[in-house]
Amino acid sequence: MDVLEADEIAMAYGPRVLFQNVSFTLKPGDSLIVTGRNGAGKSSLLKVLAGLSRPVSGTVRYPSDAGAVTNADPTDELPVGYCGPDINVYDELSASENMVFFAGLRGLTDVPVGDLITQLGLDTRRSSEPVSSYSTGMRQRLKLALSLVGSPCVLIWDEPTATLDSSGRKLAEDVISSHTSKGGIFIIATNDDDEAERWGTKKLRIGP
Amino acid sequence: MMKPSVGVRKSSGSGLRHTLHAAGLIFKKELRVEFRTRYALGSVSLFSLTTVVAVSGALSSQTLHSDVKAALLWVVLLFAAMSGLARVFVREVEAGTSDALKLYAPAASVYAGKLLFNLALVAAVELITVPLYLIVLPPQVIHPGLLISVLALGGLGLSSAATFVASLIAQAKSGKSALFFTVAFPVLMPLLLVAVKSTVGAFDSVPTHQSEAVSGMAVLACYSVVTTTAALLLFEYVWRD
């Protein structure tokens, strides 16, 4: 199977239903833009797709050569790279140390850390400094670079450019087009209409 | 950028081997972060030092039985260790790094890595506290082999149970410290009682105390095995939900 299928996903916090009956299929090279007003549940949907939250109902099936992989499987076994505002790297470690640590957790030893850091425009001279000394934009670039570790076939980015400058936005756009042109699947939540128009081959609006 | 991979994790070996490798990485990461911040070691060292000095200052003129000395030693060890043990999970949740760990590491490796770090922390607490305690409140007799065995087994049980409780309370919205002590207290109480009883045997030469210490060590070993096994089985549910 080489498509990503979301089937009848519903999410609720207590009695408050965020969304329900969300279904879509993404083929290799597709990029899905998720839009909706603040609080509609865009981030919640992306966390479900990344395996970080359990939906109330519904199933997500991921592209896999190794049999059926669904969101019921352990999160670390999903072929997903995720970057969102509520996920952080270790402040006490440097950018390189963070990348090597997380790659090692996935059993990867030959990750081109330097290339990934450069690709997202991080200053390689500062890659050995602790992340606590980084600006918000630099941290975001590092988190985006981290989502690329292991070249996962599904990339999920939640508001990726909210804290990036114009060059960072351009780099993010380059990564998106490079990933989809190689047959990867992209899912992005954004409030930027311009990004939604330019980046998505498919669109999904959550809420009214 | 490399070609996107369609498939699950590229593991460097079998599932168990990968889990052990990831646990080792998490343990090393914990040590590296601790050496750079010195948060846990600093707080437990200070707690140990001040408590032992306060106890010795208050009781220096008293003649204490070995059971009182054993109880005091474990009270100091327990509270010194508890002041640092919960940090392993609370820090991850507060810093927003727990989701990153969920994305990259097998759940069992997270528990194992954190347990190894807490074991190292408890060992450090014991290395700081026990020699100091034996200097300021020396017992009549010391059976070093017995004392070291009780401290090792007690430390293992304490670390194992406290690590699991820490993973439970880390998800709480507030009052994590109070919750940690509240939940950990009934879980650790049997361990504490047996550890004190066994330590009495290491502090005197009464034959019945010696035999109680030996059987107490068997209980401590069983406690450690049971808590570690239960934690490994249950941790995935706690970690994901």
Chain B contact present for A66, CB below 8 A: yes
Instruction: Give the pLDDT of residue B6.
Output: 46
Mutation target to probe the B interface, by most B beta carbons within 10 A, among A64, A96, A106, A147 is A106
pLDDT tier, A12 (very low <50, low <70, confident <90, very high otherwise) = very high
Query: Which residues of chain A make contact with B97, given a CB cutoff of 8 A?
Result: 87-90
Host H or E run for residue A45: helix A42-50
Measure in Å the smallest separation between the Cα of A144 and chain B Cα atoms: 12
Alpha-carbon distance of B141 to A56, in angstroms, equals 62
Note whether A182 contacts B7, CB cutoff 8 Å: no
Q: What is the pTM of this model?
A: 0.90
Host H or E run for residue A202: strand A202-205
Note whether A89 contacts B100, CB cutoff 8 Å: yes
pLDDT in tens, B59-68: 877 788 888 9
Q: Please name which of A206, A192, A195 lies closest in space to residue A31, comparing C-alpha atoms.
A: A195
Size of interface A-B (CB pairs under 8 A): 127
Instruction: Give the pLDDT of residue B13.
Output: 52
Alpha-carbon distance of A65 to A149, in angstroms, equals 19
pLDDT in tens, B167-181: 999 888 788 888 898
The chain B residue lying nearest A155, using CA atoms, is B4
Domain map (residue ranges) of chain B: 10-240
Note whether A152 contacts B4, CB cutoff 8 Å: yes
Output the six-digit token pair for B142.
Answer: 């010391």
In terms of Cβ atoms closer than 10 Å to its own Cβ (0-12, 13-18, 19+), residue A135 is exposed
Mean pLDDT of the region B105-109: 94
Alpha-carbon distance of A12 to A58, in angstroms, equals 12
> In this model, does residue B1 exceed pLDDT 50?
no
Note whether A105 contacts B22, CB cutoff 8 Å: yes
Window 146-165 of A, Cβ < 8 Å to B: 146, 148, 150-153
Q: Do A51 and A6 meet the contact criterion of CB atoms below 8 Å apart?
A: no
Note whether A106 contacts B10, CB cutoff 8 Å: yes
> In this model, does residue B200 exceed pLDDT 80?
yes
Q: Judge if ipTM > 0.85.
A: yes
Note whether A52 contacts B103, CB cutoff 8 Å: yes
Note whether B26 contacts A105, CB cutoff 8 Å: yes
A2, A50, A63 ranked by CB distance to B103: nearest: A50
> In this model, does residue A207 exceed pLDDT 90?
no
Please report, for residues B35, B67, B71, B162, the alpha-carbon distance to residue B122 in angstroms, rounded to integers and kept in the order given: 16, 22, 17, 11
Note whether B1 contacts A182, CB cutoff 8 Å: yes
> In this model, does residue B58 exceed pLDDT 80?
yes
Note whether B29 contacts A101, CB cutoff 8 Å: yes
Q: What angle do CA B161, B23, B12 make, to 5 degrees?
A: 150
> In this model, does residue A150 exceed pLDDT 90?
no
Alpha-carbon distance of B128 to B145, in angstroms, equals 18
Chain B contact present for A174, CB below 8 A: no
Alpha-carbon distance of B165 to B179, in angstroms, equals 9
Residue A28 gets which letter from DSSP? T
Note whether A88 contacts B96, CB cutoff 8 Å: yes
Instruction: Give the residue with greater pLDDT, B7 vs B47.
Output: B47
Measure in Å the smallest separation between the Cα of A185 and chain B Cα atoms: 9
Instruction: Give the pLDDT of residue B9.
Output: 47
